[in-house]
A and B are shown apart, each in its own frame.
Chain A
Amino acid sequence: MFSLNNQLELRKVTISSLLTCIYLPSIVTVISYKGLLYSVGNGSSFYILVLIFFAELLKSFYLNATNDIQAKRSKANKNRVGDILKSFVFLLVALFCFFIGIMLFGAPILDCHEETLMLSSLMSLLAVFPLIAHSGVEASMQLLFGIKNYGRDTITEMLVNNSIMTVCGAWLGAVVIPLDWNTPWQQWPVPCYLGAISGYLLSNVFTVFKVILLSAAQKYPTINSIINFLNNLHSAK
């Protein structure tokens, strides 16, 4: 659960989550009205990924912006170009890993490469990219696999939750594929694609919900019991 210590971080988290809650559904709505929802696996829907990429990039700029001059200075000293290059390479590696992993876990091997590639790029965009943009390559690796603890860093906590939920969503999306309903959205990779997006979205909604709970708890102390319960759940995991 988030801490209330840093109001600024909390605000950032809320706003960025709200932004996600707005832009992702609107993208999905637009493409479903255009009738393109079931063709998300094609290469022609690459523009969706570009849109998401820029949205996430803007969000990460917002999250990284600090008023602290000293921090700015220390950041400026670092080799920005090298960092960006490294992140880019790492993103590609992550994409490749997702690609191989998805295939290993049951995607068609001999065909449908385009679809699998689109799914893996979406997943690396949603699950890995924001984390890299915020905390760098090494730290994000450690964070993702739970080796490093994010401690009281609310933003990182949100980002890690987002990536986990994205992967879970894509994973659970595969459940509907074997059902014998013969609907167009059971085509590979539509359920996983939409599952990843909805997982990400759900995670953001949870974030907003948690912040609302926290602020409500200040007014109504009874809510604290719910927060404690959630905290317990979290620590039990």
Chain B
Amino acid sequence: MQSWLQNRWTSLCLLVIAIGALMLFLYGFFPLKYHSGTLAHMDDLPNFIDGVSIDGHEVYNSGENTVILMVIDGLRYDFATEEYMPYTGQLLKNKSACIYVSVAEPPTVTMPRIKSPERKKEKAQWRRTINFWRDIFAMMTGSVSTFADVALNFGAPAVRGDSVLRVAASRGRRSIMYGDDTWLRLFPGLWAEYDGTTSFYVTDYTEVDNNVTRHLDKVLTPDENKKPTFDFLVLHYLGLDHIGHLEGARSPMIKPKLLEMDGVVKKIFTAMQTWDRAGTLIVCGDHGMRDAGGHGGASPAELLVPLVLARTPDFVCPHSKGPGPTVAQVDVAPSVAWLLNAPIPGESVGRMLPALLPSDSRQHLYLLHVLAAHNARQGVPTNAEFYKQFQRAQTQFAHYLATGQKSAAKIAKDFYEESLEAMSRYLSEQTVDLDMFAIGIAVFLLYFIAVTLLCVTLYSLQPEHSRKTSTGHHHRSTAGSFLAFIIVLFICSTTLVISCFITETKSQFCSFNSAWILVFGLTACVITMVYFITKTAIENTRDLTILKDLNLIDYLLIFGTVFHSWSFFGTSFIEEEHMTWYFFWNTLMLFILLRTVVVVLMYLGKMFVGATEVQEKPELHKRMDINIGLLPKWVLLIALHRYLKTMNQTGDRWLFLPDTADWLNAPENAVFLQAHLVVGTLLTLIICLWNVRCMNNVMHMHTAFTVLATGCILCYRISTKALDSPFDYIQSWDPVNIVNLFWGLLIAQFVFEILTYVGIFRSCGVNSLKTQSNKKFVYNKPKAKTEDYFYDPLAEEPWNLEEVKLSLACSISHLMLNYLMLIVILLMRPHNVIMVPSVYITCMLTSKCVNHKLLDTRPGRDTEIVDTLSQVLVHLWIGQVFFFYQGNSNSLASVDLGAGYVGLREYSAWRVALRMGLHAYGGPAVAGAALFARLAAAPSWHRYLQALWQTTNVLALHRVYAVSLYCIVTIFFRHHLYVWTVFSPKLLYDFVATVFTTQALTSIAQIVGLTHFTSWLAKTLTYKSKL
């Protein structure tokens, strides 16, 4: 097990395993059912009941009906009473209408506060859409929506599956919509007539409703045959909700507003009475409101909404007085569909509103049968009791059809209702229920891995000599450790199996089918492996004195990183995560500022007090000079960050404030925008050229490649009209070709680098002069050691293999950094281009300033390990800060879809996703690359590997720690109403971040692997040539 612990890439493996665990978590957390998109047809109606034939179309026919669905936003249960709505109350009293208690799908609402520029409207619209999504989705499709529906649809939030509107349209019904335009966006192309109002300005509570009501007179007037001109009318009133948000549920304005709504109900109902056709009016709220006015909690006032059903002509409510029976929001869909004589939407799990069920028992039973059969088709287990009940009901129904016995009809009805209720509940729960067992296992795994990574990291942070001495005390035999592994594996799997059976879980994880048994076995293996690594690490970690070298800034870094994950227990800290990072980063900058001031003062003091002492130590003098230069640079850096912070408003609460990006994107400020673009690109070019020094000896070629690539980027900008240029013909070039050329250049540069390394060009004699002056890639024998390997020429390494390895690693790392910067610049929005050089400058300056030797006048103290630790953390922080500077947030709305299509002609899921990811994580990626490039500048190969090991460990530890803690947070808040808009998107972001971290570490591992490979190749070839 020792070798596992000491392996450089153990933490990478653990990270990969953690991704697996996270996937298990996501599997359990995001509801299991995904909407299949089945579309319903009239032909689906059963024509045989248990062998007895029946004319489905004829029995199903509900006659000519007109349905009006009136949604009043924020109508809570106690508003639909005689006190507030006298006419409605009257209707309820004389039994012309029924009232039901409907339980709302928890909505999540964050209201925009301030007028915002056009650019941000989309984001806000998206949020708004999500808010209505669940309610409208439930009412129109009859199924409970899942997060996957939203997440997979973002960008174009239209319902793709079946809905009442689609089946109605397919049956040739005319649907009309007046009200919130979210309906239009959710169901595009399904309306015969519409007038959408934006619900954007919450201060407006009269105009939004007048916009709806003004059409009523026209639309309610029947034609000459006394028939209404439409079949399905949706009215969505927003004013009540807006008043609630502004003034609360006890506001004096509520009453007149409800009276107004009551007037609308009266108007509709009177109009319906004049029609020569059956009319149905459904009045419902989509969610309630708190007394304070908002909504978003789980209190009854917010969740219980009334559903009033009024019909003409001659309709008597079958229910007794008082609060009606409870229905679900999904029940609206099948009811409306049936009334419109359309099939039940494909994924509906609802039932019929009880008062609608016809008195004719044949039709009644047929309807119940259709619903039950429809539900039974949607993956109900056939061995469940309610399914058997359904079959029994079917037999009774067939019996009734054959014989006409009333008692059989009664029994069939009872059986149908029982089974329908159970099936509906089962299906809804299956959509919403979490697989708690899988989640539990996943979190346990994540925690265990986090602990292991902590142990491994601490182990790797020990000074080298103490690590060496601690090894090899008692060497276990391979067979012994194998036996131990088997035993622990057995114990683990037994425990897992037992816990499966004790909890009696329905989880797939414990189902032991072919696929899941693999997962099960892997879990047990991982637990065993992780256990052994932890055990060995704890046994071997003895000397942590190195941690005493930590200074105040290190403590700040560690504390901040650790605390940050805990802050997520507050929702607003997730929405405003950038604030946490900005605050930490500001604190860090303040600390470093104080430190640089101290350095300056120390130097000045030395100058005045002990001038001779300074003169005696010219080396000290020199170092002081460098350090004093840091202060003005640092102040400038703070100013730069202050500026970048204003670039993009992000998060939720201040998203709508105008920011610099808005100003820059205004047409009149195009010059400044272009200046930002050009300055950003040119600065990156300069940085890239500066980095070229770390590559191989053929400097000029690399410079040419880089300049050409930057030229491509500029041409791309010109051709996409983001940049004006004196050369008009560039504008007509094809951006896709330019981007392809850019990729080609990058690949060519990499190939060239490798070829130079191999030495192809040496024979051409192109760089013969260069190679002699700069022998980075030349194997040679150090002369001093020539006598040593006289004894054992094969064991010793006479060649400077390690130096060459190091320079190759260094070169490729810098090449990677350059590539990342160039690619990110290509993908960024014009105003954000300036971020990329800023990340680099910040990284360089900060890593100078957090150096532990800055304040240390005595040379010789070994602070390498602590330095590595603080460097990694600082780069992590910089990455995070820039992630938010760039305008990202923890909401899916801030993902820039435009970046996904740079240089692409058609949609290709992987390429788009990669571009989008790289764009979003551009800041962290560049910061990470800068970190690894910095590591590669180590003085020796051995120390490079050491630092790499520690860095990998710390990065993996941070990632797994953050993820595992966040998983706990989401479990904790799984019933919280923000689970959709706040918690789940953040979970996705964390998942993506983990994947990217793994990817980054893998590419570093590849670099190291490449160096080893080439070195091995060179060795074998050399030996061969010798032989």
User: Are B586 and A145 in contact, CB atoms less than 8 angstroms apart?
Assistant: no
Q: Which are the 9 A-B pairs with shortest beta-carbon distances? A: A178-B579, A104-B638, A180-B572, A145-B598, A105-B586, A178-B576, A104-B642, A147-B601, A145-B601
User: Are A174 and B572 in contact, CB atoms less than 8 angstroms apart?
Assistant: no
Which residues of the partner chain A approach B552 to less than 8 Å between Cβ atoms? 237
Given contacts A106-B642, A174-B583, contact A147 B598 (CB under 8 A): yes
Bound complex: CA A236 to CA B380 (Å): 66
Bound complex: CA A158 to CA B582 (Å): 31
Given contacts A105-B590, A106-B645, contact A175 B639 (CB under 8 A): no
* Cross-interface CB contact of A145 among B575, B594, B639, B651, cutoff 8 Å: B594
Which residues of the partner chain A approach B1002 to less than 8 Å between Cβ atoms? none
Most buried by B among A142, A174, A178, A237: A178
- Within the complex, the shortest CB–CB distance from B294 to chain A, in Å, comes to 11
- Within the complex, the shortest CB–CB distance from A222 to chain B, in Å, comes to 29
**Residues 100-121 of chain B: 1 if any A CB is under 8 Å from the residue's CB, otherwise 0?**
0000000000000000000000
User: Are B642 and A103 in contact, CB atoms less than 8 angstroms apart?
Assistant: yes
Bound complex: CA A142 to CA B605 (Å): 9
The answer, yes or no, to whether A76 is at the interface (CB within 8 Å) is no
Which residues of the partner chain B approach A142 to less than 8 Å between Cβ atoms? 601, 605
Bound complex: CA A104 to CA B653 (Å): 22
- Write the residues of chain A forming the contact surface with B, with a CB cutoff of 8 angstroms: 103-106, 109, 141-142, 145-147, 171, 174-175, 178-180, 237
Bound complex: CA A105 to CA B591 (Å): 12
- Within the complex, the shortest CB–CB distance from A136 to chain B, in Å, comes to 15
User: Are A109 and B642 in contact, CB atoms less than 8 angstroms apart?
Assistant: yes
User: Are B589 and A105 in contact, CB atoms less than 8 angstroms apart?
Assistant: yes
Task: Give me 16 A-to-B residue pairs in the complex whose CB atoms sit less than 8 angstroms apart, sorted by A's number.
Answer: A103-B642, A104-B638, A104-B642, A105-B589, A106-B642, A106-B645, A109-B642, A145-B598, A145-B601, A147-B598, A147-B602, A171-B587, A174-B583, A175-B583, A178-B572, A180-B576
Which residues of the partner chain A approach B651 to less than 8 Å between Cβ atoms? 178
**Residues 149-183 of chain B: 1 if any A CB is under 8 Å from the residue's CB, otherwise 0?**
00000000000000000000000000000000000
The answer, yes or no, to whether B597 is at the interface (CB within 8 Å) is yes
- Within the complex, the shortest CB–CB distance from A96 to chain B, in Å, comes to 14
Among residues of A, the one whose C-beta sits closest to the C-beta of B597 is A145
Among residues of A, the one whose C-beta sits closest to the C-beta of B548 is A236
User: Are A179 and B572 in contact, CB atoms less than 8 angstroms apart?
Assistant: yes
Bound complex: CA A146 to CA B572 (Å): 38
Which residues of the partner chain B approach A103 to less than 8 Å between Cβ atoms? 642
Which residues of the partner chain B approach A171 to less than 8 Å between Cβ atoms? 587, 590
User: Are B582 and A106 in contact, CB atoms less than 8 angstroms apart?
Assistant: yes
Bound complex: CA A174 to CA B582 (Å): 11
Bound complex: CA A142 to CA B600 (Å): 11
**Residues 571-608 of chain B: 1 if any A CB is under 8 Å from the residue's CB, otherwise 0?**
01001100100110011011000100110011001000
User: Are B653 and A180 in contact, CB atoms less than 8 angstroms apart?
Assistant: yes
Which residues of the partner chain A approach B597 to less than 8 Å between Cβ atoms? 145
* Cross-interface CB contact of A105 among B602, B638, B646, cutoff 8 Å: B638
Which residues of the partner chain B approach A147 to less than 8 Å between Cβ atoms? 598, 601-602, 605
Bound complex: CA A85 to CA B601 (Å): 23
Bound complex: CA A172 to CA B588 (Å): 13
Among residues of B, the one whose C-beta sits closest to the C-beta of A110 is B646
- Within the complex, the shortest CB–CB distance from A81 to chain B, in Å, comes to 25
- Within the complex, the shortest CB–CB distance from B636 to chain A, in Å, comes to 10
Most buried by B among A142, A147, A174, A180: A180
Which residues of the partner chain A approach B635 to less than 8 Å between Cβ atoms? 104
**Residues 600-620 of chain B: 1 if any A CB is under 8 Å from the residue's CB, otherwise 0?**
011001000000000000000
User: Are B586 and A106 in contact, CB atoms less than 8 angstroms apart?
Assistant: yes
Which residues of the partner chain B approach A178 to less than 8 Å between Cβ atoms? 572, 576, 579, 651, 653
Which residues of the partner chain B approach A180 to less than 8 Å between Cβ atoms? 572, 575-576, 652-653
- Within the complex, the shortest CB–CB distance from A190 to chain B, in Å, comes to 17
Which residues of the partner chain B approach A145 to less than 8 Å between Cβ atoms? 594, 597-598, 601
Which residues of the partner chain B approach A175 to less than 8 Å between Cβ atoms? 583
Bound complex: CA A178 to CA B639 (Å): 21
Bound complex: CA A214 to CA B572 (Å): 44
Which residues of the partner chain B approach A104 to less than 8 Å between Cβ atoms? 635, 638-639, 642
